[in-house]
Structure 1
Amino acid sequence: MSLKLVAVDMDSTFLRDDKSYDVGRFKRVLEQCKEHGIKFVIASGNSYHQLRDFFDEADKEYLYFAGDNGSYVVQQEVLQHEIAMTRALALDIVAFLEPYADVSVFISTGDQSYILRDDPFYEIAKIYNGILEEVDSFAEIPEAKMVTKVCILSHQGLAYNKAVAEAANAEFPDIMAVTSGNVSIDIIHRQSGKGFAIDYLQKRYDLAPDECMAFGDSMNDLSMMREVKYSVAMSNADPHLAEHCAYEIGSNEEQAVLTVLERYFKEGSLGFMEEYLHQSDTSSLS
């Protein structure tokens, strides 16, 4: 079976820990994707206005960006698809989070993000948001705006963050809270997620799951893993994500995503993926 779509998470998957990637290798892979008609999707919890800065103009012309965990899908600077929660719901979530110690919140509306003035996490939030506006209160967000993501930043550890996510899910039935790496919790509309973006593109271009591959490392990648046959976890992935993936490869530091794609183009088939079958996975390639 030939690939028609590849989706990659960014932090701790495509990017090294210093937020870099092998630009030359990527450009060669992307050129091969163009030649074979493979759609390349950047599927990240980060906002679109930050993701686009990782790529030059030529690359951005070809890429699809599924920012805010798939809530905001853009190609060639044009919004293709969006699903969001109301501003009122986002403000209720912020109020719910107030009792939790040592956490910070920023809110994304797809085209930009907002954070409270003098927030101690401002510099960290700026890493994930290209356009970040400081406000005295989130009530200053224009009423007409819809919210694509509420993000919580916390250094309390992954177990604590998962507990906060579970509490938010229990309190608000219309949202989905998932951990993203070790310091973030992403809260999005329950009908959204990276899988939402993949499903949208599959339906738009009549793509089957066995023509699609996704790479990830965190629980916010789970929904897109469920939409593809070739679900690939990094060796540095959250174990709870890895157990839901059919395959496990090397680490982000090793640029393992590029290695797998280079091998696919060299060999012309996906037979070699059997070498990466996750130990708990008993499926086989057809």
Structure 2
Amino acid sequence: MSIKMIAVDMDGTFLDDQKEYNRERFEVLFRQLQEKGIKFVVASGNQYDQLKSFFPELHGEMSFVSENGANIIVEGEDYYNAKLPMEKVLEVLAGIKKLEPTVTIVCGKKSAYVSKEISEDIFNSAKFYYPSIKKLEQLEDITQENDEILKIALSFSAIGIDAKLADLSNVLAGEMTPVSSGHGDIDLIIPGVHKAHGLAKLSEEWKIDPAEIAAFGDSGNDIEMLEHAGASFAMANAQEKVKQASKEIIGSNNQESVLDTIELLLQA
């Protein structure tokens, strides 16, 4: 089957280590994708406001499966968002405290939220990924914000992250699913609401078979998407379990490997 949708993760995949990509080359490829009727989808754990900033001229012409599938935007229009019941948010916040994450971010449709106790350095770092972010007296005050909660993002030391994932699975007991997003970061997602779930919704809308999807990723939160897609590509810098979930391993995120592969797909 020919490819009708291309889905790319951003950090460690589409973006290089300087959080950049070859914009001129991509725009040429993007226009070629449009000419062939191939949908381009950004699929990331990050906030939509951050993701669209990478495509200032083009974001209104593409689709975003943001917040690991919990918030989908199609050509600038809201398409779908999941919602975690507020009582569950409070239960999860209480449960994860004993694991002592270095950062806890509650991610909503309107904004992300952190405790005012966060250091300024960490706050500024978080703001890169969540440009719409707000400090609360305490995270439990989220109940007063009239927002729809999509996920919870945690940071730990990158050492022993598999053990942290196991600990979180035990603490959460199926209420939320912990997935690695790289470099010691873990997203707590609503069970079943992941990147593949988002792609499936768009596939249904656009009448695209999973076999007609090409997906690119590097971290644990990409695994479902890579397993869902007919053509799946793990980066050379990907986690080992991500490589095992993919049909092909390509170069690193610092080598324009995603753009090289898109070019090959267009030629095919």
TM-score range (shorter-chain normalised) is over 0.9
1:275 corresponds in structure 2 to none
2:81 corresponds in structure 1 to 82
1:80 Cα deviation after fit: 0.2
2:118 corresponds in structure 1 to 119
1:190 corresponds in structure 2 to 191
Note if contact 1:9-1:43 (Cα within 8 Å) is conserved in structure 2: yes
1:174 Cα deviation after fit: 2.7
Aligned length: 264
1:31 pairs with 2:57: no
1:153 corresponds in structure 2 to 155
2:63 corresponds in structure 1 to 64
Q: Secondary structure at the match of 2:253?
A: coil
1:87 Cα deviation after fit: 2.1
2:3 corresponds in structure 1 to 3
1:218 pairs with 2:219: yes
Q: How is 1:9-20 mapped onto 2 (pairs within 5 angstroms)?
A: 9-20=9-20
1:93 Cα deviation after fit: 1.5
**Distance between the aligned counterparts of 1:91 and 1:36, measured in 2?**
47
CA offsets per residue over residues 248-267 of structure 1, 9 Å max, x none?
000100010001111222x3
1:96 Cα deviation after fit: 1.5
1:109 Cα deviation after fit: 0.8
Can you give the 5+ residue segments of structure 1 that lack an aligned partner in the other structure? 270-286
**Distance between the aligned counterparts of 2:139 and 2:33, measured in 1?**
42
Q: Secondary structure at the match of 2:17?
A: coil
Note if contact 2:110-2:147 (Cα within 8 Å) is conserved in structure 1: no
Equivalent pairs: percent with the same residue? 29
**Distance between the aligned counterparts of 1:124 and 1:242, measured in 2?**
28
Note if contact 1:216-1:234 (Cα within 8 Å) is conserved in structure 2: yes
CA offsets per residue over residues 153-199 of structure 1, 9 Å max, x none?
12x115x2332222222333131110101121001100200011011
Distance 1:81 1:187, change over 3 A: same
**Distance between the aligned counterparts of 1:12 and 1:93, measured in 2?**
28
**Distance between the aligned counterparts of 2:227 and 2:6, measured in 1?**
14
1:226 Cα deviation after fit: 2.0
Q: More displaced, 181-190 or 73-82?
A: 73-82
**Distance between the aligned counterparts of 1:75 and 1:213, measured in 2?**
18
**Distance between the aligned counterparts of 1:214 and 1:198, measured in 2?**
10
CA offsets per residue over residues 24-77 of structure 1, 9 Å max, x none?
0110111011101111110001011111111113x1121101111011000233
**Distance between the aligned counterparts of 2:127 and 2:191, measured in 1?**
26
Q: Secondary structure at the match of 1:191?
A: coil
1:210 Cα deviation after fit: 1.5
1:115 Cα deviation after fit: 0.8
2:237 corresponds in structure 1 to 236
Note if contact 1:46-1:67 (Cα within 8 Å) is conserved in structure 2: yes
Note if contact 2:101-2:154 (Cα within 8 Å) is conserved in structure 1: no
1:102 Cα deviation after fit: 5.2
1:244 Cα deviation after fit: 1.0
1:101 Cα deviation after fit: 3.5
Which amino acid is the alignment partner of residue 103 of structure 1?
A: T
Which amino acid is the alignment partner of residue 115 of structure 2?
A: L
**Distance between the aligned counterparts of 1:147 and 1:161, measured in 2?**
25
Q: Secondary structure at the match of 2:245?
A: coil
Note if contact 2:3-2:265 (Cα within 8 Å) is conserved in structure 1: no
TM-score, normalised via structure 1 length: 0.88
Note if contact 2:106-2:152 (Cα within 8 Å) is conserved in structure 1: yes
Distance 1:130 1:143, change over 3 A: closer
Q: More displaced, 137-146 or 173-182?
A: 137-146
1:280 corresponds in structure 2 to none
Q: Secondary structure at the match of 2:40?
A: strand
